[in-house]
Structure 1
Amino acid sequence: MKKEQIKGSLSLFLAAIIWGAAFVAQSVGMDYVGPFTFNCVRTLIGGIVLIPCIAFLNRGKVRKKTNFTEKKRLLLGGICCGVALATGSTLQQFGIMYTTVGKAGFITAFYIIIVPILGLFLGKKCGLSVWISVVIALAGLYFLCITDGFSIGKGDIYVFLGAIAFSIHILVIDYFTQFNDGVKMSCIQFFVCGILCFVPMMLFEHPEISMILLAWKPILYAGVMSCGVAYTLQIVGQKNMNPTVASLILSLESVTSVIAGFLVLHQNLSQRELIGCGLMFIAIVLAQLPQKI
């Protein structure tokens, strides 16, 4: 079991690195295409990539016939997740147009704290450490987002709203994975997200194939690595892992985004912003620590 847990930890750590670096791909991709176009193409690629992943993960398993209720539940879960994912990823993509990769990564990671707060409306109680982490995270957001004159950047607002949407996405996944295969549901959600982004893409952005081809590197990375590979690594990695430990490892995505933004895009954070990042990371870790009930 210990060997399996080590493999699981490595899988989750790799997923966090891939997701953190994906913020760079999202930023670079915006130089060629609009946010709806980027999300549409990458999520459709992600859905296509997961098809062989599903076959690989189900190899050697005895095929069971699924009844109409199970299929309906799987489809419903995929649609609900797809709507939440489309909302969150679109808001995040718009936000990245107006803020740095590092700030976007840390503000997005705020979902780890938003989730237990939203859980209150579902009858799930929060421990003292969660509320302390909320206060610390708010202080971190102040240092990270609020500039001179108490103004918050437009990009920061978009990314924060995206974090709320991702929180809802996580809760929806938590509910539907009780009944459905996680990878299959993810495959459906990517296709739903791609279709939902396709309509505004055609209405507002009028994408050109030539521009999409110019952005093939960031789109392919975001589609294959971020959507397809990283999500599969998360599913496989969490199989024999304590969920609290898994969440802590995945929260390193925010740290990776800052490092990637610095190394690739040369986006430096000010001392004030670094303090904000540090406070938010402390809050993220504190929110995931085991709580006594």
Structure 2
Amino acid sequence: MRPKNAFMLILTAFIWGTAFVAQSVGMDYLGPFTFNGVRSFIGGAALLPCIFLLERFNEKNSSAAPVKGSRKELIAGGTLCGLLLFAASSLQQLGIQYTTAGKAGFITAFYIVIVPVLGIFLRKKTGIKVWTAVLIALTGLYFLCITETFTIGKGDVLLFFGALIFSVHILVIDYYSPRVEGVKMACIQFFVCGAASLVPMFALETPKAADMAEGWLPLLYAGVLSCGVAYTLQIIGQKNVNPAIASLILSLESCFSVLAGWIILGETLSVRESVGCVLMFAAIVLAQLPDKKKEEVQYG
């Protein structure tokens, strides 16, 4: 892997991890659906110039291979991803109200273990390594979420179901990304997510321009950096990189969320919760370690 690619992926993980702080701070000014809706529209708008620049680059670079796929597939993929993103990010934003940014980051990162498990229903083999990772992650979630009185916090439940939907979201992206242009599909999904947020935003909340103006910094960070910049960095950084290694680097998002919550928000984790975080990160690493035989065949 080139150092440039590794740097881009680490920067992506850093932006996504610290975005949990922006989401937490943003709740001081806006309701969860308002925050998600506005940040999604900002993210979609931030990708428009990226699409323009990429099209200009492809026009000048004749060697760039065109991406196959019809406009119908692009719209279908973007719409489905947008609806899934709306459901997952809404649960995440609702859940983060009742827990810390670091804890939210680790529970959300559980999708990296869930994805290969859901692959069973798509007739994809799941080896002992993945099942071991699932067992370790469940143990980590127990320490992280279940208190000594054997109760689970409301925010933990919401975040976990959000992680489940994020897992489906990843599988849908995996299906459509080889068929359509990734940045365009991302742009559509952000606008669809923003549009879907409008209904609960006006039905359950009272969005005010003054509140959005006060919360401009977390909104811009979550919208421009987390959605627009980070997604573009991920696409460029993953080029010609082993997907398993790329996913492993991106899973550092959970570590950055804990560090950001500690440094910026002054959040602390108990010893029990810290053990849960360590176990979950170990499970994430184990689930993403490439199989040696496959590596030799593909990259040897």
TM-score by length of 1: 0.96
Letter matched to residue 205 of structure 1: E
2:183 counterpart of 1:198: no
2:229 alignment partner in structure 1:
229
Equivalent residues in 2 for 1:57-68, closer than 5 Å: 57-62=54-59
- After TM superposition, list the pairs within 5 Å mapping 1:1-293 onto structure 2: 5-62=2-59, 70-291=70-291, 292=293
Secondary structure of 2:227's match? Answer: helix
- How many angstroms apart in 2 are the aligned matches of 1:133 and 1:92? 23
Cα drift, residue 290 of structure 1: 1.4
Name the CA distance, whole Å, in 1 between partners of 2:57 and 2:169: 31
SS in structure 1 opposite 2:236?
Answer: helix
Distance 1:45 1:290 in 2: 36
Residue type at the aligned position of 2:100: T
Identity of aligned residues (%): 61
SS in 2 for 1:168: helix
Structure 1 runs of 4+ with >3 Å offset: none
Offset at 1:266?
A: 0.4
Q: CA deviation at 1:261?
A: 0.2
Matches of 1:32 and 1:281, distance apart in 2? 32
2:16 partner SS: helix
Stretches of structure 2 that go unaligned for 5 or more consecutive residues are 295-300
How many residue pairs get aligned? The number is: 288
TM-fit CA distance, 1:128:
1.0
Question: Structure 2: how far apart are the matches of 1:195 and 1:273?
Answer: 36
Shift of 1:62: 3.0
Q: Are the equivalent residues in 1 in contact too, given 2:245–2:290 (CA < 8 A)?
A: no
Give the drift of 1:87: 0.6
RMSD: 1.6
Structure 2 CA distance for aligned equivalents of residues 182 and 189 of structure 1: 10
Superposed displacement of residue 114, structure 1: 0.3
- CA shift, 1:7, in A, is 1.0
User: Corresponding residue for 2:298?
Assistant: none
Residue 56 of structure 1, CA deviation? 1.8
Q: Give the counterpart letter for 2:223 in structure 1.
A: G
1:255-279 residue CA offsets vs partner (Å, 9 max, x unmatched): 0000000001100001111100000
Note if contact 2:115-2:167 (Cα within 8 Å) is conserved in structure 1: yes
Q: One-letter code of the match for 2:3?
A: I
C-alpha distance in 2, partners of 1:290/1:207?
Answer: 46
2:25 alignment partner AA: V
Distance 2:14 2:178 in 1: 27
Secondary structure in structure 2 of the residue aligned to 1:152:
coil
Question: What displacement does 1:118 show?
Answer: 0.6
| Aligned-residue offset at 1:59 | 2.5
Give the deviation of 1:206 after TM superposition: 1.7
Unaligned runs of 5+ in 1: none
Q: CA deviation at 1:149?
A: 1.5
In the alignment, residue 182 of structure 1 is paired with which amino acid?
G
